[in-house]
Amino acid sequence: MKRLGIFIVIYLYTTLTYARNNDSLWMVKHYTKLEQYITMRDSVRLFTSIYIPDDNSENHPILLTRTPYSCAPYGKDTLRDFWTTYQKAYLQENYIIVIQDVRGRWMSEGEFVDVRPCAKNKKNCKDIDETTDSWDTIDWLVKNLPNNNGKVGMFGISYPGFYALMGAASGHPALVAASPQAPCIDWFEGDDDHHNGAFFVMDNFDYDTPYGLGFGVPHHKPIAAPHTPATYPVHDNYKFHLENMPLSKLTRLTGDTIRFWKDMMNHPDYDDFWRERDARKATKNLKPAILWVGGTYDAEDNWGAWNGYLTAEKNNPGKDFNKLVMGPWYHEQWINNDGTHLGNISFGSNTSAWYQQNIEVPFFNYYLKGKGDISKMAEATIFMSGANEWKTYPQWPPAGKKDIKLYLRDGDSLSWKAPKKENSYNEYVSDPHKPVPYTSEIHFNRTRNYMTDDQRFADRRPDVASFKTDVLNEDVTLTGNVIASLQASISTTDADFVVKLIDVFPDSLYYNNVNIYEDADPVLKYPMGGYEMLVHGEVMRGKYRNSLAKPSPFTPGQVTTVSFKIGDIAHTFKKGHRIMVQVQSSWFPLVDMNPQKFVNIYKAKLSDFQKSTIRIYHDSKHPSYLVLPILKN
Q: Is the pLDDT of residue 83 over 50?
A: yes
Q: Is the pLDDT of residue 159 over 80?
A: yes
Pairing of strands 198-199, 289-295: unpaired
Q: How confident is the model at residue 514 (pLDDT cuts 50, 70, 90)?
A: low
Helical spans, DSSP H, in 93-235: 130-144, 159-170, 201-208
Are 543 and 448 members of one domain? yes
The pLDDT, as a whole number, for residue 218 is 81
SS3 assignment, position 317: coil
Contacts 24+ apart (CB under 8 A), 258-262: 258/208, 258/209, 258/216, 258/217, 259/114, 259/216, 259/218, 260/114, 260/208, 260/216, 261/204, 261/208, 261/209, 261/216
Mean per-residue pLDDT, 237-245: 96
Are 111 and 8 members of one domain? yes
Helix (H) or strand (E) holding 266: helix 259-266
Are 14 and 99 members of one domain? yes
Q: Is the pLDDT of residue 338 over 90?
A: yes
Cα 346 to Cα 129, 528, 540, 622, distances in angstroms: 42, 11, 30, 39
The pLDDT, as a whole number, for residue 432 is 97
Mean per-residue pLDDT, 622-626: 98
Of 372, 393, 414, the residue that ends a domain is: 393
Q: What is the DSSP code string of 518-558?
A: TTS-TT---B-TT-EEEEEEEEEEGGGSS-SSS--PPPTT-
What are 355-388's pLDDT values in tens digits?
999 999 999 999 999 999 999 999 999 999 999 9
The pLDDT, as a whole number, for residue 318 is 87
Which of 80-89, 285-294, 562-571 is least confident? 80-89
Are 350 and 304 members of one domain? yes
The pLDDT, as a whole number, for residue 3 is 47
Are 437 and 383 members of one domain? no
Please report how many Cα atoms fall inside a 13 Å half-sphere around the Cα of residue 93, on the Cβ side: 21
Mean per-residue pLDDT, 110-135: 81
* Containing structural domain, residue 596: 402-630
Specify if 220 maps to a domain.
no
Length of the chain in terms of residues written: 633
Question: Is pLDDT larger for residue 103 or for residue 524?
Answer: 103
Q: What does the alpha-carbon distance between residue 97 and residue 82 come to, in Å, rounded to a whole number?
A: 10
What are 297-318's pLDDT values in tens digits?
999 999 999 999 999 999 999 8
Specify if 256 maps to a domain.
no
Are 366 and 415 members of one domain? no
Specify if 147 maps to a domain.
yes
Specify if 275 maps to a domain.
yes
Specify if 379 maps to a domain.
yes
Q: What does the alpha-carbon distance between residue 217 and residue 304 come to, in Å, rounded to a whole number?
A: 25
Which of 134-143, 220-229, 248-257 is least confident? 220-229
Q: How confident is the model at residue 6 (pLDDT cuts 50, 70, 90)?
A: very low
Mean per-residue pLDDT, 57-70: 96
Are 429 and 569 members of one domain? yes
The pLDDT, as a whole number, for residue 14 is 44
φ, ψ of residue 135 in degrees (nearest 5): -60, -50
Closest CA to 33 of 13, 50, 46: 50
79: CATH: 3.40.50.1820
Are 48 and 108 members of one domain? yes
Cα 507 to Cα 386, 527, 544, distances in angstroms: 16, 10, 39
Specify if 596 maps to a domain.
yes
Pairing of strands 148-157, 175-181: parallel
Closest CA to 9 of 330, 416, 468: 330
Are 354 and 406 members of one domain? no
Are 274 and 415 members of one domain? no
What are 449-486's pLDDT values in tens digits?
999 999 999 999 999 999 999 999 999 999 999 999 99
491: CATH: 2.60.120.260
Q: Which residues sit opposite 64 in a β-bridge?
A: 98, 154
The pLDDT, as a whole number, for residue 121 is 52
Specify if 474 maps to a domain.
yes
Mean per-residue pLDDT, 537-541: 98
Mean per-residue pLDDT, 83-91: 91
Question: Is pLDDT larger for residue 227 or for residue 569?
Answer: 569
Specify if 562 maps to a domain.
yes
Q: Is 131 left (phi over 0), alpha (psi -120 to 50) or beta?
A: alpha
Q: Is the pLDDT of residue 90 over 70?
A: yes
C-alpha dihedral, 163 to 332 to 480 to 566, nearest 10°? -90
Q: Tell me the pTM.
A: 0.93
State how many domains the chain has: 2
Q: Is the pLDDT of residue 543 over 50?
A: yes
